[in-house]
């Protein structure tokens, strides 16, 4: 804990100097910077090699902080009460007097916001007088990081500091829900869509393609940059084979996402497994058919985009 406190202090120093810091969240690690600063947020785009038109998610400690920047509505409050802090992001209208840098929104009048539940990052946010813009801490189109080591692998010495919060518990990005007009899900993620639907008690649309061209909606994303084939029963001899559940007989090229068909556990292990396979230098990946329900839907969404790499 003592160590954590001094690391948080160090992180604040870097952030106050408009530097980027790697931060742990329950979904994936983020590449964070002061969302009110154009200098700081420009550095995020540069480090990630992210197209400028892709807006960033901004991370807040609580509603009080959020109210400075966004217009709040009833459905948002209902969802916030149930799911935040946690793995869900909301698209809201931005207030005219908001100090959020135009880099973050790409000049649009909407803002993606999130309240991460990871203790270390909440502790950090509580001590800042600005929110943190933080996309996933990976180079654009590549695999999202779920540990400090993963972030280091992405940016090496270009990033001065990464807070170590252990392995991300959810392991896939937050669910994004737009509350601008009729509520709709824009990205599947840490809270399954059917759960939100059940809670809200009305039909919730899922819009795969957003008008905003965003990394989460680009064709190739979440990719180890290795050829990847889906719904495979029999892999080739030298191909990495991803299984949904552990088999009695595991060959050296077999990798399982969960011990027993648990889709939540499988989602948690997805990016970790893809990164492991990449580091083992496999030239191609085959994936067993994954049930398309609950967290299986999220896994299939990410793998589908990764499979567009040729
Ligand atoms: O779990 C997460 O959400 C992680 C952690 C670090 O918080 N962050 C994350 O950020 O996944 P990123 O930048 O990798 O994905 C954010 C997605 C992008 O697809 C972006 O286009 C979309 O959110 N987005 C941001 N602002 C938006 C807006 N105003 N309207 C629609 N989509 C937006
Ligand atoms: Mg991302």
Same domain, 191 and 303: no
Is the pLDDT at 219 greater than 80? The verdict is no
Query: Which residue, 206, 237, 264, sits at the end of a domain?
Result: 206
DSSP conformation class of 92:
E
268 with 196, same domain?
no
Is residue 84 located within the same domain as residue 184? yes
One domain for residues 19 and 62: yes
Whether residues 126 and 202 share a domain: the answer is yes
Please check whether residues 129 and 38 belong to one and the same domain: yes
Could you tell me the distance, in angstroms and rounded to a whole number, from the CA of residue 8 to the centre of ligand 2? 24
Cβ atoms of residues 3 and 97 within 8 Å: no
Candidates 214, 221, 271: which one to mutate for ligand 1, based on the most atoms within 8 Å of Cβ? 214
Looking at the fold, whether 191 and 235 belong to one and the same domain comes out as: no
- Cα 214 to ligand 2 centre (Å): 9
- Examine residue 102 and state whether it is found in any structural domain, yes or no: yes
Q: Taking 60 as the threshold, does the pLDDT of residue 303 lie above it?
A: yes
Asked whether residue 215 carries a pLDDT value surpassing 50, the answer given is no
Residue 171, by phi and psi: left (phi above 0), alpha (psi -120 to 50) or beta?
Answer: left
64 is written with which tokens? Answer: 């009080």
The verdict on residue 211 lying in a domain is no
Same domain, 20 and 81: yes
Final residue in a domain of this structure, among 206, 237, 255: 206
State which H helix or E strand residue 196 sits in: helix 193-200
Sorting pLDDT into bands at 50, 70 and 90, what band is 220? confident
Residues facing residue 254 across a β-bridge: 241
pLDDT at 212: 58
Please indicate, yes or no, if residue 219 is contained in any of the structural domains.
no
- Mean pLDDT for the chain overall: 95
With beta carbons less than 8 A apart as the criterion, state whether 214 and 108 touch: no
Query: Where among 177, 206, 235 does a domain terminate?
Result: 206
Domain containing residue 66: 5-206
Within-domain flag for 185: yes
Task: Please compute the mean of the pLDDT values over residues 255-265 and round it to a whole number.
Answer: 96
pLDDT digits (tens, 9 = 90+) for 107-164: 999 999 999 999 999 999 999 999 999 999 999 999 999 999 999 999 999 999 999 9
Q: 223 preceded by cis ω (within 30°)?
A: no
Element (H, E) at 268: helix 263-279
| Nearest-angstrom CA–CA distance, 75 and 43 | 34
Residue range 26-30: mean pLDDT, rounded: 98
Structure confidence at residue 218 (pLDDT): 63
What residues does ligand 1 touch, defined as CB less than 6 Å away?
25, 27-28, 30, 54-57, 89, 91, 108, 110-112, 114, 116, 134-136, 173-174, 176, 186, 210, 212, 214-217
Q: Are residues 103 and 11 in the same domain?
A: yes
Q: Which two tokens stand for residue 243?
A: 């299984």
Number of domains into which the chain is organized: 2
> Is residue 160 in some structural domain?
yes
- The DSSP code for 174 is P
Ion ligand 2 neighbours (CB, 5 A) are 136
Find the CATH number of the domain harbouring 97.
Answer: 3.90.870.10
Tokens linked to 172: 């896939």
> Are 42 and 12 in a shared domain?
yes
112 and 191 within one domain: yes
Average pLDDT over residues 54-70: 97
1 Cα–ligand 2 center, Å: 29
Does residue 185 share a domain with residue 88? Answer: yes
Between the CA of 249 and the centroid of ligand 2 the distance, in Å, is 35
Of ligand 1's atoms, which has the minimum distance to the CA of residue 217?
19
The mean per-residue pLDDT over the stretch 90-117 comes to 97
**Residue 221 domain-assigned?**
no
In a domain, 63, yes or no: yes
- pTM beyond 0.85: the answer is yes
Is 74 part of any domain? Answer: yes
Tokens 């518990």 locate to 169
Q: Relative to the alpha carbon of 106, which ligand is closest?
A: 1
- Sheet containing 254-258: order of strands: 227-229, 284-287, 240-245, 254-258
Measured CA to CA, the distance from residue 71 to residue 68 in angstroms comes to: 9
Q: How much is the average pLDDT of 296-309?
A: 94
Length of the chain: 310
- The rounded Cα 224 to chain-centroid distance in angstroms is 16
Lowest mean pLDDT among 67-71, 208-212, 235-239: 208-212
């Amino acid at each position: 804990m003592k160590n954590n406190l001094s690391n948080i202090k160090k992180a604040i120093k870097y952030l106050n100097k408009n530097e980027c810091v790697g931060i742990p969240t329950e979904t994936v690690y983020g590449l964070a910077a002061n969302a009110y600063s154009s200098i700081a947020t420009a550095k995020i785009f540069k480090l990630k090699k992210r197209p400028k038109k892709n807006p960033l998610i901004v991370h807040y400690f609580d509603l009080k902080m959020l109210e400075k920047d966004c217009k709040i509505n009833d459905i948002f409050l209902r969802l916030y009460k149930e799911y935040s802090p946690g793995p869900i992001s909301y698209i809201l209208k931005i207030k005219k007097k908001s100090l959020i840098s135009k880099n973050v929104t790409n000049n649009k009048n909407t803002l993606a916001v999130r309240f991460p539940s990871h203790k270390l990052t909440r502790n950090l946010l509580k001590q800042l007088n600005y929110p943190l813009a933080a996309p996933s801490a990976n180079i654009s189109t590549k695999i999202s990081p779920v540990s400090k080591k993963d972030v280091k692998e992405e940016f090496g010495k270009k990033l001065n500091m990464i807070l170590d919060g252990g392995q991300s518990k959810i392991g896939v990005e937050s669910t994004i829900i737009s509350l601008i007009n009729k509520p709709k899900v824009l990205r599947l993620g840490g809270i399954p869509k059917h759960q939100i639907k059940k809670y809200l008690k009305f039909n919730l649309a899922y819009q795969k393609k957003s008008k905003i061209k965003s990394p989460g909606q680009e064709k190739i994303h979440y990719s180890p940059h290795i050829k990847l084939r889906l719904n495979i029963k029999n892999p080739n001899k030298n191909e990495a084979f991803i299984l949904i559940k552990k088999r009695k007989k595991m060959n050296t090229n077999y990798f399982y996402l969960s011990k027993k068909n648990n889709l939540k556990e499988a989602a948690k292990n997805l990016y970790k497994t893809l990164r492991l396979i990449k580091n083992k230098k496999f030239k191609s990946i085959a994936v067993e058919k994954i049930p398309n329900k609950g967290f299986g839907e999220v896994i299939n969404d990410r793998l589908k985009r990764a499979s567009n790499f040729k």
